Amino acid sequence: MFNTVALVGATGAVGRIMRQLLEERPLPAKTFRFLASKRSAGGTITFRGQDHQVEELTKDCFAGTDLVIATTPDEIARDYLPSAVEAGATVIDESGYWRMKEGVALVIPEVNPQDAINAKGIIASPNCSTTQMVVALKPLHDAAKVKRVVVSTYQAVSGIGLSGTKELEEGTHMHLHGQPYNYTAFKHPIAFNCIPQIGGEKEAGYTSEEMKMVYETRKILGDESILVCPTCVRIPVANCHSETIAVETERPISPEEARGLFESFPGIKVVDDIGSSMYPMPLNSTGSDLVYVGRIRKDLSHPNGLSFWCVSDNLRKGAATNAIQIAELLAKHRFGK
Ligand SMILES: NC(=O)C1=CN([C@@H]2O[C@H](COP(=O)(O)OP(=O)(O)OC[C@H]3O[C@@H](n4cnc5c(N)ncnc54)[C@H](OP(=O)(O)O)[C@@H]3O)[C@@H](O)[C@H]2O)C=CC1
Ligand SMILES: N[C@@H](CC(=O)OP(=O)(O)O)C(=O)O
């Protein structure tokens, strides 16, 4: 078993869920440590029935720790995680900073587990919008090679952490009372609105979130030829990202074949009966670790095209669950459990 596992960013939106997951599906470890910023240091976290003091993250705090699971802003991951590697720890990082760096594995356990097993140092967990899409694309890619993807996202406010959830709640209240509110978490008021910008301007008119969907998809699937055209939109939903995905494959995949491929892939659940108004939605996907797929149909505009709808909990499979699954994969490989 692991000797000491450190959870860095333990007090954040994703960190809280990681703690919950580590209680629900115990990772074999003798000791756990919980770290965050100076602001939270000294506070108490109760975990597996015991009180733990939150420690301040510093560059020399990693001695004796063999696994670090980190979920902090990018610049904190950039500045502190190399010290963890130098101290001999394997690092699983949820931030965006290390994902596309040369030599860093970018892993979804259902899709490319071997990359985690072969990795040295930092193993990155992908962007939430990318993760759910790539889980759904993988069985199609294996069966008929994905050539091109057009994806539009409908992303929940929890994607930016606790501040997003708070601003949706307060903004909704103020809007319903006919009052203006100071919005800071998003570039525009989010209540009763849709904002077609997630992240900063990146290249060719695309945002950073959109370009993550382009580059991370290729890296995880190990195929630089896949073309991705994303539009990422923030919507006033508390939790779970939704996506419309139109895929062009090398040979046609019928909706029936696609349904079978999705159903036999680990981590995917098909909910697809338009006649009975059955399809995945954020309200019934929240709290789940699965990627839900529905509205599976032929793309009427292309002979090799397939279109579907995909929903997943961005805080769980999009972040916390994926990282914990990587830790479990390493534990199984190293200790057989
Ligand atoms: N929310 C989502 O859907 C997804 C998030 N991610 C990524 O996960 C990471 C965490 O996101 P999220 O949980 O939403 O963010 P939150 O803002 O909710 O939490 C951030 C965490 O990082 C800690 N932190 C911040 N600054 C420092 C610092 N200077 N030193 C040490 N710790 C620090 C915070 O500690 P403190 O409480 O003390 O401030 C807190 O524990 C980000 O990189 C995000 O991009 C990835 C995929 C999806
Ligand atoms: N950007 C995503 C969540 C996120 O944190 O992504 P990343 O880990 O790539 O920064 C969202 O706002 O919904």
Note the pLDDT of residue 58: 98
Q: How far apart are CA 111 and CA 100, in angstroms?
A: 17
Superfamily of domain 129-314: Dihydrodipicolinate Reductase; domain 2 (3.30.360.10)
Average pLDDT on 125-149 reads 98
Structure tokens at 195: 């904002």
Asked if residue 162 has its Cβ within 6 Å of ligand 1, the reply is yes
Which percentage of the chain shows pLDDT scores above 70?
100
Over 80: is that where the pLDDT of 18 sits?
yes
Cβ(159) – ligand 2 distance below 6 Å: yes
- Ligand 1 neighbour 72 (Cβ under 6 A): yes
Beta bridge partners of 269: 292
Tokens of 72: 């902090």
Q: In what order do the strands lie in the sheet with 90-93?
A: 55-56, 29-36, 2-8, 67-70, 90-93, 122-124, 105-106
Residue 158, marked binder:
yes
Write the residue with the smallest CA distance to atom 27 of ligand 1.
37
pLDDT of 26 reads 84
Confidence of residue 191 (pLDDT cuts 50, 70, 90): very high
Please tell me whether residue 33 adopts helix, strand or coil conformation: strand
Residue 83 has pLDDT above 80, yes or no: yes
- Model confidence pTM above 0.95: yes
Single out the catalytic residue among 128, 232, 240, 310.
128
Q: Which ligand is nearest to the CA of 195?
A: 2
Token pair for 325: 């699954």
Q: Is 129 annotated as a binding residue?
A: no
Residue 259 has pLDDT above 90, yes or no: yes
The residue nearest atom 43 of ligand 1, judged by CA position, is 95
Q: How far is the CA of 47 from the centre of ligand 2 (A)?
A: 26
The least confident of 25-29, 291-295, 308-312 is 25-29
The CATH class of the 2-126+319-335 domain is: alpha beta
- Supply the pLDDT for residue 337: 75
What separation in Å is there between the alpha carbon of 169 and the centre of ligand 2? 20
Residue 159's pLDDT is what?
Answer: 96
Find where tokens 């994303």 sit.
Answer: 230
For residue 99, say whether it is annotated as part of any ligand binding site.
yes
Answer yes or no: are the C-beta atoms of 291 and 267 closer than 8 Å.
yes
pLDDT at 297: 98
Query: pLDDT tens across 217-243, in order?
Result: 999 999 999 999 999 999 999 999 999
234 labelled ligand-binding: yes
Ligand with minimal distance to 81 CA: 1
Is the CB–ligand 1 distance for residue 159 below 6 Å?
Answer: yes
Residues of the chain with CATH 3.30.360.10: 129-314
Indicate which ligand has the atom closest to the C-alpha of 241. 2
Ranges of CATH 3.40.50.720 domains, the chain: 2-126+319-335
* pLDDT for position 206: 98
* 241 given a catalytic annotation: yes
pLDDT, one tens digit per residue, over 38-64 is 999 999 999 999 999 999 999 999 999
Residue 145 buriedness (CB in 10 A; 0-12 / 13-18 / 19+): middle
313: three-class secondary structure by DSSP: coil
Mean pLDDT of the chain: 97
Is 128 an annotated catalytic residue?
A: yes
Q: Ligand 2 centroid to 159 CA: how many Å?
A: 5
Which one is catalytic: 61, 240, 241, 310? 241
Question: Could you give the percent of the chain with pLDDT greater than 90?
Answer: 97
